[in-house]
Amino acid sequence: MSNILATRPAIKAASGTGPRGRRSPSDKFAPYLFVSPFLILFAVFGVWPILHSLILAFYHTNGPKSQVFAGFDNFKFLFADPDFHTAVWNTLVFAFWSVVLQIPFALGLAILLNQRWLRGRTFLRLAFFSPNLLGQVFVGVLFSVLLAPQYGLVNKGLHALIGLPLDTKWLANPALVMPALILTSLWLYVGFNMIYFLAALQAVDKELYEAAMIDGAGPWRQFLAVTLPSIRPVAVFVLVTTTIGSFQLFELPYIMLNNSAGPDNAGLTVVMYLYNNGFVTGNLGYASAVGWTLAIGVLLISLAQMRMTGAWKAEAK
């Protein structure tokens, strides 16, 4: 007992508390000292560029040094520019078909590769995920060759299946540019989203399937009553991230269309429009206005998706 009482002052001294249990000033500021490197770097390379781009959106610029205050002129010109309308339409079409096609394909692939009877599941999972390891630039170059007229594998395969002419120019025909981009995006991202669904499927309680089978539910009824509700949070996550990623489309059309927007601006996206104005013509203020308009638009669409899917209600419960 006497030894325990003798060690109490030493413990208080080590913990840095005073005689009345108050913390010393060094203890109060120690946590802030430890996180200060991150806060400083985040403020310099994260917060300040964002605030500066917001300020820059209200200036006419000619390069990084020449700036003239313009108020809302950049935004007025933006909403009146036909090229911006084209870029928004192309981006919306790409985002719509990416979501509509990618999510069902990824989910179906995950269900198939989650079956115990399927041999080589591990290899197939790696094979379908591996395109995402290549990056958009490499995939863009690869599909530029695959979609080439005459000798491209896509034209040869479709010619053998449905008689598509071998000289079909996917990247030179305005009507075929967007299907080519969507096809490339599918090859690149279906396997990536499959991983999320696969992890969610493996976390579904097997007893729920057993109970459904006892109640006489078939495979389709089990999918609707057990699988979909169980993987719903992951499905919402994939939906929102796929939408956000689709609105950030830039590298694929830029590489596949030889650093251009393609014929009749068929491959012009909002981010490519931003890049052309900011880094080709040097109007950084106008490019900042485009960036903030895109960010606000993506935020509103994401919030609408979360509300429509009931993600907030599920989180509140």
pLDDT tens string 149-192: 988 899 999 999 988 888 889 999 999 999 999 999 999 999 99
CATH number for the domain harbouring residue 226: 1.10.3720.10
pLDDT of 5 above 50: no
- Domain presence at residue 267: yes
Instruction: Give SS3 for 60.
Output: strand
- Domain presence at residue 114: yes
Going by pLDDT thresholds of 50, 70 and 90, the confidence category of residue 65 is confident
CB 182 within 8 A of CB 90: no
Instruction: Give the domain range for residue 242.
Output: 75-118+194-313
- Domain presence at residue 48: no
* Mean pLDDT computed over 186-210: 92
Number of domains in the chain: 1
pLDDT of 217 above 80: yes
Instruction: Quote the pLDDT of residue 1.
Output: 45
- Domain presence at residue 272: yes
Instruction: Quote the pLDDT of residue 11.
Output: 47
- Domain presence at residue 152: no
* Mean pLDDT computed over 138-144: 92
pLDDT of 4 above 50: no
Going by pLDDT thresholds of 50, 70 and 90, the confidence category of residue 314 is low
- Domain presence at residue 50: no
Going by pLDDT thresholds of 50, 70 and 90, the confidence category of residue 313 is low
How high is the mean pLDDT of the chain?
87
CB 159 within 8 A of CB 166: yes
pTM (two decimals): 0.83
pLDDT of 26 above 80: no
What kind and span of H or E run contains 69?
A: strand 66-69
Amino acid identity at 42: F
Looking at per-residue pLDDT, the higher value among 107 and 62 belongs to 107
Instruction: Quote the pLDDT of residue 202.
Output: 92
Give Cβ neighbours of residue 261 (< 8 Å, ≥ 6 apart): 253, 267, 268, 272, 276
* Mean pLDDT computed over 208-232: 89
Q: How many helices (H) and strands (E) does the chain have?
A: 18, 2
- Domain presence at residue 217: yes
- Domain presence at residue 30: no
* Mean pLDDT computed over 206-233: 89
Terminus-to-terminus CA distance in the chain, angstroms?
50
- Distance between CA atoms of residues 273 and 251, nearest Å: 12
